[in-house]
Structure 1
Amino acid sequence: MVKVIVTGASGLLGRAVLARCKAEGFEGLAFSRASGDTERLDLTDTAATEALVRAFAPHAIIHTAAERRPDIVENDPQASHALNVDVPAHLARLCASLSDPVPALINISTDYVFDGTSPPYSVRDAPHPLNAYGQSKLDGEHAVHTHGRPGRATSLRVPVLYGRTAPISQHDESAVNVLLDAIRPATGAEKKKKKMDAYAIRYPTNVEDVARVLADLVKHSTSTPSSPSSAPPALPPLLHFSAAEAMTKYDMALTFARLTTELGGQAETAHLEPEYEVDPNAATSRPHHCQLDVSELAKLGISTDCIPFEQWWRTYLSDLLNG
């Protein structure tokens, strides 16, 4: 049986990855700072992390844990460095030191390693992050590449993610889901204008699609070699995955409002003021257009298909309204 460790397993992506691993029949060990059905672990505790990894002897580690909020990283880059750079560096060194099996390390990165001026971006394009978050994830990629065993370590860049939150009414796990709060009918003091980004072009991607790709990468990295003396199929050092539908946050908010109304719910958008230019007062610089070229993933025989944005949200909003 394929054994997989999932870090950040209590997060939006981590939960989806763990569920997919179980559906694939993998034996999963879930690491998280939270309690519950996950193994409580501080990943910055290198000794404890090494002990658990060695005891479990995984075939793969999927590293989803990160400080993903750009404004938080911008305000305290040193604190975020431990999770976004030091932890993947340690996991890469640890995986490279193990044998029978040599675990594949799949590190989650971001489209924010690019400046958004020349899309679409292939894995061969030079990164140029505009903010501390993008730089920290780029540094994490470099750590994985430097310390990981060639062919057994990769960083998968993904765009902004969305999915089923826990609980379903708590939207702040995702920069997409949280837009539902912006279209909620306001009363009294809440009824004021709200600026909404209509400049940055995003490619919102469902965590269930990302989880399926990650499971496929695990299967690729653990598939039977062509001959008994051969190594397992190699993982490229960098890969991209993204949905193909382009939209701004303002577009998403309007879509949510329309779907909510069609489903019999209440939503408002008159108070939203679209911003079509870069906000000069923004605390964190964000790239304009970071479309990712997913062709390298397709070359591995892994599907890059994604569930249509509106299709998923229509079902999810129906559950939310009827729950």
Structure 2
Amino acid sequence: MPLFRFLLCAVVFYLAPTVLYAQVAEMDTTIYGRNPATGKYANIRGIKLYYEVYGQGEPLLMIHGNGGSINNFIFQIPYFAKHYRVILADSRAQGKSTDPSDSLSYEMMADDLNTLLDNLGLKQVNVIGWSDGGINGMLLALRHPDKVKKLAITGASLRPDTTAVDPQVYSMAMGWNRQIQDSLKLMKPASAQLKNTAKVMRLLSYQPNIPANALHKIKCPVLVIAGDHDVIKNSHTLEIAENIPNSYLWIIPNSGHATPIYKKDEFNNTISDFLAKPYRKIEGEARFN
């Protein structure tokens, strides 16, 4: 089971009501992420990147989390495809995208997405990123600033430590990483799948490493989102928002990391409103409104 799906199902089993389990289980039956009518591969930057496109209109890129895939956005694709051209890709080494290399970084994935957009002839897109996808979204805005018109991120982080991540979650993740690395040493030869899982887990455990002041360079408006009981500390989410010049902050009450699933209606409606309306600076007397 991909890491992102494992983590999500673990949260569902221990903490969430039956309705959320049913929503996560729906990922296994949807055609999103395995749709032969729209699914294609792009041979870019030494990998085969799998992607799907839905709808018509202004382009909107959605970026999934660690170990996830396109179908993590089952509640966003049909909603936004009514008004946008929705582009989704399985990040390298995840989902259907293959990656023969030994290394993996968020910077590599952001550059992959930039190249995919170039191949599709898209000069600028709106972006929604969840978890690692939020990290990739910020890096896309930093490394290719002209590509991102507006950016909405949920459950993103700048660094892999307990100043950013809930200490219990951090300890769990590092424990899983050690188990996978130990398995890699014991299995000789290790399978390609185990090697790939270890590579993705190392990414989660030791990256990203983005200085907070680097966010000052992000030009586009950004909606920074997290659940009030997210795996990412609220103080860290606030740090991200405070370092982006044109940002809004939305902490969703009674929510964890899976905001696009557990809070799908509020999530979709709020991001839709953010994308549709001009960003406004709220300064001086306007703060009283």
TM over 0.5: no
- Taking structure 1 as the reference length, the TM-score comes to 0.34
- Bigger Rg, structure 1 or 2: 1
Higher relative contact order (CA 8 A, sep 6+): 1
